[in-house]
Structure 1
């Protein structure tokens, strides 16, 4: 375990004691309510602090993990070593004309609501996406026919060396549920969205309709990571799982949702191991029955127990 007082002192010198938690339970910071502890859970307040923390991790050879708001993520039961960075305190949303600038820790759903208030159209699709702005760019989040690449103009990131970079949307290789952010080790600090003037009532009507569809079809009453699998070409993941008679299938406290087969819910104090085993079981069953490989949309990080 990376957990020495020397590292703690360096971290609080960069930010402050209230922003550095030791042995923090990560299940308290993920939508699945799964995961072991982080050695250091750090919530910086400025871009400069993020840069300094990245440089410290490099200098002291510390493991370093970026955590969004934990909506599309499974943390394993053994937790995460080293520094876990969360940008929840960087959550400002500002606008100028048809442009909205949102910091990484803001929820993309709140950015869509801000767009509505400013009578700007283009982000309606995001009104039900629970992730942060940083997470939305990381995976080019999308729903109901829209995606981040449609409206993103530029972003400010920190690279692996702690440098501040301004990149255009084209620099990120945004594709279906993917970007080059993870492979380049970028930490998103803010995003600039280019929208269009619209009518408040029209925008609100679309958002109300999408919210109704989401709430009526998705199992929001249980902890989950959202849609577990990417849409396979020519198919729908939920339909394949449903047609494999897997709805209600349970391993420990993890269950394939009875409401939407594309979701796996933490129904009864599941462990991350149970949740992940159920994902693998679903993939294996669908492959055997239909010959279709389901690719995970959700990201799995951390260590198994006993590692």
Structure 2
């Protein structure tokens, strides 16, 4: 997981029956890894060396989850009748409203929802700078590691809920997260609380059908962030609020944040803790300070291990 000031990494192995976290590293960079949209190759290389030194590298492939704070993502309405070529042109046009030189980005799109009465669909757009991907791939190859996937921390956390390995716990270990009597069809509001913004996905049966992001001033206190999350949820998803469970993850997803959210929203709120479902030694669990922070990287790792439907 790459943040502007540090890298967090875990090594994972397993099968569809058991997943284990083997090692963990968190290294703060000696200088910013990303500043004003520019990724520093030298700082990144130095930080990678220290990360792999801590891990005792055994893996030959890696997935990279970039901090959601530094990657553009958004949900855009699209005409259902557009051809593939026209859709790609429209996506670049939309992206151009938010970034300079949209042609220098790699875009991932996913259909979130269909609106037949409007002949439209809602598409999730995530855009990565090509030069960032190229730099990460080359730096990893220099260390004999192939880059198998790249995404954001928020969508990595979302993948966590799409993993068949995790979903098989929906009637037992997940009972603290989902009410067993309504596990099928339960709505989850997955809220990524970053240093600079919040990302919200609404999921049903592990699949996202709505997404929104909101920039946050970095100085916000816990209760102010909670108020902002509640405001965004109510303003955008009031019609589906009944019966959902809110799950927090990310840099600023803490017990204090969860408690502030419960007090304000009067709804079910929990922190996403991946170690509830994965094997790890007690010593390793104690080293990992913030389970909700690493959930995005672990979710993306589950995806790469082909445990998703």
Pick the TM interval, shorter chain.
Answer: under 0.3
Give the structure with the larger helix fraction: 2
TM-score, scaled relative to structure 1:
0.28
TM-score, scaled relative to structure 2:
0.28
User: Which structure has the higher relative contact order (CA within 8 Å, separation 6+)?
Assistant: 2
